[in-house]
Structure 1
Amino acid sequence: MQRYNRHKLTIWIAGAILIILLSIIYRKFNPLDSSLFPKCPFLMLTGLKCPGCGSQRALHYLLNFQIVEAFKVNAFMVVSLPFLLLLTFLSLTYHRSSRLLKWRDRLYGKRSIYIILAIIINFWIFRNILSF
């Protein structure tokens, strides 16, 4: 049991260090101006934006407190961050009340997955229609 806890703690520490390092890199370097960051293969092949296009720049802008600029490059990512944080919180909460479990089941349920997929597909289509 102690070996399991030590292993789990090591993974958490490594994950935290990785997140901190990536945050520093994304805050300091703008993906638009740097060759450090990968370009979107879908955009390069088709000329169309995928739902994730602009996410790296949006993250850069968010880390530099430029929320309007982040929203301009990928509104979906900016709007979905609170939802992702809520999902993370619900997944990591050890002592869940019945109320938290109920919300977790709703947000991880089949209906939610279909709704999220529909939102992503609509965002994908409309962002390309509006960019022409």
Structure 2
Amino acid sequence: MWIRENKLLFLLIVLLLAFGFAFYYFVDPLSNNFIIKCPFKAVTGLDCPGCGSQRAIHELLHGNFRKAFSYNPLFIIALPYAFVGILFEWFSLKYKFPKTRKILFGKNAIYIVATVIIAFFILRNF
């Protein structure tokens, strides 16, 4: 199991996540100039696929799921997918469920995810 082999790294990841969650809980990205703005949007005026994710995290941590979804629906939909990917890696589920891993994270899945991201970018801007 990945966690047993990398206890220090796992602890560091957990601490960084806790700090990040605390930061985004207390700091509103809309009213704070300390938060880094999207350079892609600054240059082009278009929303990148990640635009709104910081605001969505802030709203999720406050339990405002609808508002979080309105800021970046793709980010909210992608969270469970990313969580499953982390579980597969950390708990060595990729060896227990290789077919499921291939379906969710194989070559075809990469093409599908890339297509969804590109479609989201186009639909949100045009």
Q: TM-score, normalised by structure 1?
A: 0.87
Please list the CA deviations of residues 50-102 of structure 1 after superposition, one character each: whole Å capped at 9, or x if unmatched.
0000000000000110000001110100111111111111111236664x221
Whose Rg is larger? 1
Amino acid at match of 1:27: Y
SS at match of 1:30: coil
Q: 2:66 aligns with which of 65, 68, 71?
A: 68
- For residues 91-119 of structure 1, the C-alpha deviation after alignment (integer angstroms, 9 at most, x for no partner) is 11236664x22111222211100000000
1:24/1:119 CA distance change after superposition, 3 Å: same
C-alpha change, 1:46 and 1:92, in structure 2 (3 Å) is same
In structure 2, how many angstroms separate the alpha carbons of the residues matched to 1:95 and 1:101? 8
Output the amino acid matched with 2:22.
I
Taking structure 2 as the reference length, what is the TM-score of the superposition?
0.91
Within 2, Cα distance between the matches of 1:81 and 1:18? 18
Aligned CA-pair RMSD? 1.6
- Asked if residue 56 in structure 1 is aligned to residue 54 in structure 2, the reply is yes
Corresponding residue of 1:37: 35
Paired position in structure 2 for 1:126: 123
Unaligned runs of 5+ in 1: none
- Map of 1:62-101 to 2, 5 A cutoff? 62-94=60-92, 98=96, 100-101=97-98
Q: How many pairs align?
A: 123
Runs of at least 5 residues in structure 2 that lack an aligned partner in the other structure = none
- RCO higher in structure (CA 8 A, sep ≥6): 2
Residue pair 2:53, 2:71 contacting (<8 A) in 1 also: yes
- Percentage of matched positions with identical amino acids: 34
Matching residue of 1:103: 100
Aligned match of 2:112: 115
Separation in 2, partners of 1:127, 1:78: 15
